[in-house]
Structure formats: structure tokens, C-alpha cells
């Protein structure tokens, strides 16, 4: 800690026009909580408390805070916990994504406004980790991500179940009238067996693995379940490490480099991770002045096999991944594909951490590169006249028979239209049609909700249809599966070609050619654009106004334009 005037409680003094008085007053107030001068002279480690009664995914926050504080004090620092917004998927209307950027602003500004030399950020549920990494990247402090950890799996009539792939599977059975009211009510008690994040490779688990791959957690920080001793040890280590980072001024810009994002994208592909991971990584990279090169990401996908056998792409749950050695096992297997010189929060490189993790042991969750779950990365990037700015498909969770397909468009104008008609017996739809849902993009819904997982129309579900090609400008939960094209850019609400798809148009999906095309001539599309001008959504006041006026498209991470770095200085991943 070199310059005492800019560290600890002296940092970021409130403006009263007299810095001596500002510090005197600050100390007087904090002493009201019983602190001594000796305590107040130590490196200050902020702890972002995102505990909330509305967020059971963060239900272990009190225990985590206690463990982080213990670590900070063991290392000679002063822990100071403080709240920020907390976001849970099921308690955020209209959608959690609408609030992610707000949480990132809250995180950034509280990290700037309050005196701290380093910060430990407790996050877990889908949008919280990206929001915290975005905010911390902009604030520029030494920062560690502490993941809350996954929930335990439950048991329904002797079958192992967990949120939320099994939530969707059982709901699908109920919709198809394969199970009755009593059974759907019984399984509702078992899907979430403890506090913690969803137990499959959904967005929360994906972001946990990405955070570790970025070097932003202590080694082994991604996988311990929320209610385990391992998770509490990770919290204690995070506290110890934060003090070390404060002393060494190991700021976040030294960790979130192009190489770190390269590693995170490798991991995203190899875990069969959530498609949301791309949007969040794009947003975090944007805060660091880096553009995500979707074409390079697709090339990376072609030589990155899916190795982690977790639902929804595979069989297991997050706690099994932890028992199999967690991220150390995966990183060891991916080593030839990683940028090993990338720095982590320990001050050591990722390569050094892989060496320190030892030789590994026999297990059946992380496969070897010569015997993968899926030969290519889980996510493919599509292009074509329907998505000039790109679209994606999670091919590892798609039906191989539908990945090369031409079909007739069955169009829903927005989410309400779909809700009203999807289960109607009158809906003109067949199993080889393509469902198109418009206006669920960043501005359209707004907030780009996870409504891209369009349900199978009831009459097809009852006839035994399990999958159908679906296309939208929205997102999909990481726990969902199916042949589903997402993030169509530009979105329908700002006049993207998706806005002008008509019922009965032919659409071609070719994952092998990375193509999503509307088989309608350019002249016809231009005529439709003139005949059907779109009304871009607006709002009169408040956060919604800010959101609609400044939110970017999926290829910019759906961040607000004024929150991205002022200058873009590079791109990632870097594929030779």
C-alpha cells in the first residue's frame, strides 16, 4: 500500500471543501459503530451483500459474509459489507435482464463512492455475476467474484431432480397431460432442494465457470454447492486474497485481458454453457474496451469439444461436477487450448494454477478431448438475411435431425400473441414448420426476456412432438433445450428483417453452413419494410426511458451505450 492518502478510509473523501474535516467526520461516524483507530488503519475490503428474501439463490449470503470477514481479518484487513440490488430470475418483472444494467450501475457507483481497497462481490443467480463483473470492470478496483454456489438436487419418487431443466421437463409432461395435478404439485416441492443457484449448466453455473476461467475467483471457486463446507472455505480464501490484492494493487484491468476472455469463451463452449454467457461476456468485455468477434468465436467453437456432462446437454448436476474436481479437472483437459499466461486474482497465472491443482483422478463428469460429449463447441454463430448482425444456436442442446431444415414460418407478432394462440386447436401448425416469435429483443419486450424457448404448441405436444425449430430475437434460459435460434440481430422492434417475416414464408436453417435465411427476395423484403414501418418502443420517464433510449443490441451485450468503455481498443477471442 504505497500512498496512504489514497487508501483505506482516506479514499474517496466526501466533498466538504476541507479534506481534513472530511476524514475527521468519516471516522467520527464509523466510530459510532465501535471501531478503533487501529482497525480503521487497515486495508479496507468491501463485501457486496446481495442477500435478499426475494433471492433464495443467495440464501447463504449471511454465512458467506461471515466467512469472508474471517478471511479478511486473518489477513490483517478490515471487512465492510454493504448492500446492492439483488436480482432473482423468478422475482424480476418484466425480466431479470431488464435490471442487469441497473445492478451493474449500482455496483460500479457503490464501489467508487465508498472507501475500499479491494472488494469481494457475492453473486450467483443468473444476472448478478455479470452485473457485478461489469460494474467492477468499470470501477477498476482489485475485485474478487465470490459465487454463492449451486443448490442441492432433490428426489421425486426416487428420481433425482434439480432446477431448472427438470422444471421444464415436468411442466412439458403436465402440458402434454402425461402427469396429473397431484404429481406436478409434488414435484414442485422437490425441484429446489436447498438455497443456492440452479443445479444444472444454466446461466448461473455457466457464469460461475466463466468467472473462474476469467481468473476472477479463487481457484476452485465455481463449483462448491451453496450449503457445503467447501463453499465456506472458498469464501474465507476470497477474504484473505482480497487483502493481498489490496496490498499489491492487483486491479481488475490486469486480470480482464483479451487472454482472459479467450479462456472464458473456451470454457463457455466446453461446458455446453448457456447462450446467455455470450451476451454477458460481450457486455463485460465492452466495459474493458474489447469487442467480441462472433466469427472468431464460431471458429473457436469448431475446435472446442463439449466436455462437461451436465444437464441440459448431458446427464449430471453441478454437485457432480464439483465431486469430479470442478474447474481444475476441466482446465487441465483444456490446457492446450488456453492462454496460460492470463493472470488470476491469486497473482499467479492460470497455467500456474492448473499446475498447482495436481494430476487429477478418475471421474466420469468431465470427458477427455478425444472422447467428448459433443465434438464441437455447444454454441454456433449463424448469419443470413434474417440476421445480418448474427444469431446463435445451442447446437449441443438441439435435435440433430432439425439442424438442417427448411420449413414454413408460423409467426407470432409478440409474446402476448403467442400466449393467446400457441395452444389453440385452430393454430395452423405442423411438426416440420418453424415457429417465429418477434418483438422479444432488447427493446421489444423490453429487456430481451428468456421467451425464446417457445413452447411446443399443445396439439403437437399431445401428438408426441418433442422439438420444433424456433426463431426469435430473445434469449433462452440456459436450462432449456431444443432446436432454438436466438439473439436474432437486429431485433424486430427496431426494424430488423425479423419484423417482416410473414406466415407461410420459407426459412432455411443450416447449422453446418452457419446459415439462417428467409427465402424471400431482397426486393420483396424492402417492399415489406416500406409497407410495414415499425414503431420503435419509447417511454415517458424513469428507468424504462433510460433503458429504451440507450440499450444496445445483442452484439454489444445489451449494455447501455453510455456504460461501455469510451474507446474500443481490441477484440476477443484472438484466433490465429
Binding marks (x or -) toward ligand FES, 1..40, rule CB under 6 A?
A: ----------------------------------------
CB of 479 to ligand FES, least distance (A): 7
147 is a contact residue toward ligand FES (CB under 6 A): no
Task: Give CA torsion, residues 232, 238, 239, 241, to 10 deg.
Answer: 150
441 is a contact residue toward ligand FES (CB under 6 A): no
318 is a contact residue toward ligand FES (CB under 6 A): no
Chain centroid to Cα 494, Å, comes to 24
Establish whether the linkage from the previous residue to 312 is cis, with ω within 30° of 0.
yes
Q: Please, which residue, 450 or 473, has the CB nearer to ligand FES?
A: 450
Contacts of 201 (CB under 8 A, 6+ apart): 271, 272, 273, 274, 308, 310, 311, 312, 313, 314, 318, 478, 479
Binding marks (x or -) toward ligand FES, 194..233, rule CB under 6 A?
A: ---xx---x-x-----------------------------
| Number of residues located near ligand FES, criterion CB under 6 A | 12
| CA-based nearest residue to 555, from 293, 228, 346 | 293
| CA-based nearest residue to 304, from 276, 268, 278, 277 | 268
Q: Which stretch binds ligand FES (CB under 6 A): 82-90, 293-301, 327-335, 450-458?
A: 82-90
Q: Please, which residue, 57 or 294, has the CB nearer to ligand FES?
A: 57
d(CA 86, CA 100): 10
Binding marks (x or -) toward ligand FES, 321..360, rule CB under 6 A?
A: ----------------------------------------
Q: Please, which residue, 65 or 125, has the CB nearer to ligand FES?
A: 125
* Window 470-499: residues binding ligand FES (CB under 6 A): none
DSSP letter, residue 343:
B
88 is a contact residue toward ligand FES (CB under 6 A): yes
Q: How far is CA 348 from CA 76, 166, 253, 263, in A?
A: 21, 39, 15, 15
Q: Please, which residue, 274 or 472, has the CB nearer to ligand FES?
A: 274
Q: Which stretch binds ligand FES (CB under 6 A): 68-76, 86-94, 237-245, 322-330?
A: 86-94
Q: Please, which residue, 194 or 257, has the CB nearer to ligand FES?
A: 194
Q: Which three cell numbers stand for residue 214?
A: 476469467
d(CA 268, CA 207): 9
CB of 222 to ligand FES, least distance (A): 13
Report the 10 Å Cβ neighbour count for 399.
16
Q: For ligand FES, which residue of 81, 106, 126, 353 counts as binding (CB under 6 A)?
A: 126
Q: For ligand FES, which residue of 61, 110, 125, 484 counts as binding (CB under 6 A)?
A: 125
Q: Please, which residue, 35 or 171, has the CB nearer to ligand FES?
A: 171
397: three-class secondary structure by DSSP? helix
Q: Which three cell numbers stand for residue 121?
A: 462481490
CB of 188 to ligand FES, least distance (A): 14
CB of 90 to ligand FES, least distance (A): 6
264 is a contact residue toward ligand FES (CB under 6 A): no
CB of 126 to ligand FES, least distance (A): 5
Q: Please, which residue, 86 or 346, has the CB nearer to ligand FES?
A: 86
* Window 148-187: residues binding ligand FES (CB under 6 A): 163-164
Q: For ligand FES, which residue of 45, 52, 85, 89 counts as binding (CB under 6 A)?
A: 89
* 159-161 and 404-412 strand pairing: unpaired
H or E element: which one contains 384?
strand 379-384
d(CA 201, CA 465): 25
Burial class of residue 565, CB neighbours in 10 A (0-12, 13-18, 19+): middle
d(CA 254, CA 250): 7
Q: Please, which residue, 202 or 457, has the CB nearer to ligand FES?
A: 202
450 is a contact residue toward ligand FES (CB under 6 A): no
HSE-up (13 A, CA, CB side) for residue 251? 11
Binding marks (x or -) toward ligand FES, 40..69, rule CB under 6 A?
A: -----------------x------------
In 162-252, DSSP assigns E strands to none
H or E element: which one contains 118?
strand 118-123
Binding site for ligand FES (CB under 6 A): 57, 88-90, 125-126, 163-164, 197-198, 202, 204
Amino acid at each position: 500500500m504505497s500512498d496512504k492518502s489514497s487508501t483505506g478510509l482516506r479514499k474517496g473523501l466526501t466533498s466538504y471543501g476541507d479534506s481534513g474535516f472530511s476524514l475527521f467526520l468519516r471516522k467520527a461516524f464509523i466510530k459510532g459503530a465501535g471501531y478503533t483507530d487501529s482497525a480503521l488503519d487497515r486495508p479496507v475490503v468491501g463485501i457486496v451483500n446481495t442477500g435478499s428474501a426475494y433471492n433464495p439463490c443467495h440464501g447463504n449470503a449471511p454465512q458467506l459474509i461471515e466467512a469472508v470477514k474471517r478471511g479478511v481479518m486473518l489477513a490483517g484487513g478490515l471487512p465492510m459489507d454493504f448492500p446492492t440490488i439483488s436480482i432473482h430470475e423468478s422475482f424480476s418483472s418484466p425480466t431479470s435482464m431488464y435490471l442487469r444494467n441497473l445492478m451493474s450501475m449500482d455496483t460500479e457507483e457503490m464501489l467508487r463512492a465508498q472507501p475500499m481497497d479491494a472488494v469481494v462481490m457475492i453473486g450467483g443467480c443468473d444476472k448478478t455475476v455479470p452485473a457485478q463483473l461489469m460494474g467492477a470492470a468499470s470501477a477498476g478496483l482489485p475485485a474478487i467474484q465470490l459465487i454463492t454456489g449451486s443448490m442441492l438436487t432433490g428426489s421425486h419418487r426416487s428420481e433425482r431432480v434439480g432446477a431448472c431443466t427438470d422444471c421444464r421437463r415436468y411442466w412439458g409432461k403436465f402440458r402434454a397431460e402425461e402427469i396429473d395435478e397431484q404429481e406436478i404439485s409434488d414435484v414442485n416441492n422437490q425441484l429446489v432442494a436447498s438455497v443456492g443457484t440452479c443445479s444444472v449448466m444454466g446461466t448461473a453455473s455457466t457464469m460461475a465457470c466463466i468467472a473462474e476461467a476469467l481468473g476472477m475467483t479463487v481457484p476452485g471457486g465455481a463449483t462448491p454447492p451453496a450449503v457445503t463446507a467447501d463453499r465456506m472455505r472458498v469464501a474465507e480464501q476470497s477474504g484473505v486474497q482480497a487483502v493481498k490484492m489490496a496490498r499489491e494493487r492487483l486491479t481488475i484491468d490486469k486480470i480482464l485481458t483479451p487472454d482472459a476472455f479467450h479462456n472464458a469463451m473456451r470454457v463457455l463452449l466446453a461446458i455446453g454453457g448457456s447462450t446467455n454467457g455470450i451476451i454477458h461476456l460481450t457486455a463485460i468485455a465492452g466495459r474493458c474496451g474489447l469487442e467480441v468477434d462472433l466469427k472468431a468465436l464460431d471458429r473457436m467453437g469448431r475446435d472446442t469439444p463439449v466436455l462437461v456432462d451436465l444437464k441440459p446437454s448431458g446427464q449430471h448436476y453441478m454437485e457432480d461436477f464439483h465431486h469430479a474436481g470442478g474447474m481444475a479437472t476441466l482446465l487441465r483437459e483444456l490446457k492446450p487450448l488456453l492462454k496460460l499466461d492470463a493472470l488470476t486474482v491469486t497473482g499467479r497465472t492460470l497455467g500456474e494454477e492448473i499446475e498447482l491443482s495436481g494430476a487429477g483422478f478418475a471421474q466420469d463428469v468431465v470427458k477427455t478431448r478425444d472422447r467428448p460429449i459433443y465434438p464441437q463447441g455447444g454454441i454456433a454463430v449463424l448469419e443470413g438475411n434474417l440476421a445480418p448482425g448474427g444469431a446463435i444456436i445451442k447446437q449441443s442442446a438441439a435435435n440433430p435431425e432439425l439442424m438442417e431444415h427448411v420449413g414454413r414460418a408460423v409467426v407470432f407478432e409478440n409474446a402476448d400473441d403467442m400466449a393467446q394462440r400457441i395452444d389453440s386447436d385452430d393454430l395452423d401448425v405442423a411438426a416440420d414448420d418453424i415457429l417465429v416469435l418477434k418483438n422479444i429483443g432488447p427493446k421489444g419486450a423490453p429487456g430481451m426476456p428468456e421467451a425464446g424457448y417457445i413452447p411446443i404448441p399443445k396439439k403437437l405436444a399431445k401428438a408426441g412432438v418433442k422439438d420444433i425449430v424456433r426463431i426469435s430475437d430473445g434469449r433462452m434460459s440456459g436450462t432449456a433445450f431444443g432446436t432454438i435460434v436466438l439473439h436474432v440481430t437486429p431485433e424486430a422492434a427496431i426494424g430488423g428483417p425479423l419484423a417482416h417475416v410473414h406466415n407461410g414464408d420459407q426459412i432455411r436453417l443450416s447449422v453446418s453452413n452457419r446459415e439462417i435465411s428467409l427465402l424471400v427476395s431482397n426486393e420483396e423484403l424492402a417492399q415489406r419494410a416500406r409497407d410495414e414501418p415499425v414503431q420503435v418502443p419509447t417511454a415517458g420517464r424513469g428507468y424504462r426511458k433510460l433503458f429504451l433510449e440507450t440499450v444496445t443490441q445483442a452484439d454489444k451485450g445489451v449494455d447501455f451505450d453510455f456504460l461501455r468503455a469510451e474507446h474500443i481498443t481490441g477484440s476477443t477471442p484472438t484466433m490465429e
